[in-house]
């Protein structure tokens, strides 16, 4: 086949039962005599089916005739090769409306995803956004030194020193007895939405069939305890890095998520429950509570040092508890800035994933489901009373209303009226 400058060619060899050999050739080439000659030689030695858009709108296929030069050459070739046209009517009838219908179908699909997320807590929309943004790629290491440093911080050599051990307590848990009821309770408590491990057995399957599976799994776990052996697959983790904060190009800003096999989680829960039942009735170390009140007289706040294994726990002026940032002076400024930054990131993500053509109703539902939840999470605790904090949060909603309505000219009050929502200060 000649290779002109504008040739586009793709060849696929299809494996079919011997002795048939099926070769699919996809080619685009402006009509010219060299291509016609090549096809003539090919047809003389092979069985050929020509498919596709020949770009000859002036050919009369019923009489196999054409007035123009390139079309005439093709009709002559078809006549000499004894080719017959099986399709005599146009097949591309919706060219003018195809893009519009694709856009409408996408809008309807996205609206359905948003409705499921808002009213049924369906998390499929997160996978859809990740696929649109291709944001699941990980950064590369800057140098080989970074690899070794990161590995040294996580993995230890086999001969590394072990932590010191405390004195052996008077009462010990010598053995753990596993019953079928323990296995059944652990199976039904599995979260069906959790990811699977390397064995590929989903938690939904184990939970749905907990009744017939509890006895064989119980036998399997008892044998593991009796032989002091655990399968390698049950001890192998799938590590998924999740970005925490900061620069995404730095591997130190990622938190590893470890995925074990679901049966490993079942065994872990059973052992945890047995150990918890053993230690709960016993007294706790006095180091866990440094102050015991013996009178009802009010005193000034006492700041005592707390210890774990003889080590003083350092005090911090800022802590995060269940997503809320607490400060020692009971100021909420850092929490305001934190939730505002996260909300801006979410708005930017929505702008990249859902274009301007997305219906206003869908974008409003996305805003109420993904952004407002961040801005109002635990708000009775940190409700702002300073103008600067109120302004920080109100700016987030101002930007979100501009994106939702695709209106960057009207005032904030008009946009709120159009969306039928209230300012955050209310």
Residue-by-residue DSSP string for 121-153? --THHHHHHHHHHT----PPPSSHHHHHHHHHH
Asked if residue 106 lies in contact with residue 98, where contact means CB atoms within 8 angstroms, the answer is no
Rounded to 5 degrees, what are φ and ψ at 330?
Answer: 60, 30
Mean pLDDT over residues 184-204, rounded? 88
pLDDT of residue 184: 93
Cα distance between residue 400 and residue 312, in whole Å: 46
Mean pLDDT over residues 279-285, rounded? 61
CA dihedral 339, 344, 348, 353 (to 10 degrees): 40
Cα distance between residue 420 and residue 154, in whole Å: 51
Tabulate helix, strand, coil % of the chain (nearest 5). Answer: 45, 10, 45
User: Which residue did the predictor score with more confidence, 215 or 257?
Assistant: 215
Q: With bands split at pLDDT 50, 70 and 90, how would you rate the model's confidence at 215?
A: very high
Cα distance between residue 326 and residue 125, in whole Å: 32
Q: With bands split at pLDDT 50, 70 and 90, how would you rate the model's confidence at 181?
A: very high
Q: How many CB atoms lie within 10 A of CB 263?
A: 25
Mean pLDDT over residues 102-120, rounded? 78
Cα distance between residue 141 and residue 177, in whole Å: 47
Cα distance between residue 131 and residue 139, in whole Å: 17
Cα distance between residue 377 and residue 335, in whole Å: 11
Per residue in 142-158, pLDDT (tens digit) is 554 555 565 555 555 65
Per residue in 382-395, pLDDT (tens digit) is 888 888 888 888 88
Mean pLDDT over residues 253-282, rounded? 84
Q: How much is the pTM?
A: 0.46
Mean pLDDT over residues 329-346, rounded? 87
Q: How many CB atoms lie within 10 A of CB 335?
A: 22
Q: Residue 290: which residues within 8 A CB-CB, separation 6 or more?
A: 304, 305, 306, 307
């Amino acid at each position: 086949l000649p290779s002109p400058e504008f040739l586009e060619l793709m060849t696929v060899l299809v494996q079919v039962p011997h002795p048939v050999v099926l070769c699919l050739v996809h080619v685009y080439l402006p009509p010219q005599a060299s291509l016609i000659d090549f096809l003539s030689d090919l047809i003389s030695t092979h069985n050929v089916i020509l498919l596709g858009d020949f770009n000859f709108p002036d050919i009369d296929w019923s009489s196999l005739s054409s007035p123009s030069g390139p079309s005439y050459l093709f009709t002559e070739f078809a006549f000499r090769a004894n080719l017959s046209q099986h399709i005599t009517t146009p097949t591309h009838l919706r060219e003018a409306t195809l893009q519009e219908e694709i856009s409408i179908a996408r809008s309807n699909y996205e609206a359905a995803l948003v409705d499921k997320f808002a009213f049924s807590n369906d998390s499929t929309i997160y996978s859809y956004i990740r696929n649109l943004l291709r944001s699941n790629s990980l950064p590369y290491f800057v140098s080989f030194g970074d690899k070794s440093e990161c590995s040294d911080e996580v993995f230890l050599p086999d001969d590394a020193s072990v932590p010191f051990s405390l004195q052996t307590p008077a009462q010990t848990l010598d053995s753990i007895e596993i019953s079928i009821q323990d296995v059944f309770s652990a199976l039904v408590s599995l979260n069906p939405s959790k990811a699977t491990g390397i064995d590929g057995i989903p938690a939904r399957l184990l939970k749905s069939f907990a009744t017939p599976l509890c006895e064989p799994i119980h036998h399997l776990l008892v044998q593991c305890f009796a032989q002091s052996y655990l399968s390698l697959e049950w001890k192998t983790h799938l590590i998924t890095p999740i970005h925490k904060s900061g620069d995404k190009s730095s591997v130190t800003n990622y938190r590893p998520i470890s995925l074990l096999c679901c049966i490993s989680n079942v065994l872990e829960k059973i052992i945890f429950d047995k150990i918890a039942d053993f230690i709960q009735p016993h007294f706790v170390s006095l180091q866990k509570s440094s102050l015991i009140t013996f009178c009802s007289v009010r005193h000034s706040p006492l700041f005592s040092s707390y210890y774990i294994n003889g080590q003083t726990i350092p005090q911090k002026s800022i802590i995060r508890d269940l997503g809320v940032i607490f400060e020692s002076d009971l100021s909420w400024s850092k929490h305001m800035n934190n939730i505002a930054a996260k909300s801006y990131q979410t708005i930017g993500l929505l702008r990249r994933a859902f274009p301007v053509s997305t219906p206003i109703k869908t974008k409003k539902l996305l805003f109420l489901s993904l952004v407002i939840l961040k801005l109002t999470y635990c708000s009775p605790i940190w409700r702002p009373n300073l103008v600067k904090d109120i302004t920080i949060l109100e700016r987030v909603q101002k930007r979100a209303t501009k994106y939702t309505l695709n209106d960057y000219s009207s005032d904030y009050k008009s946009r709120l009226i159009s969306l039928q929502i209230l300012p955050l200060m209310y």
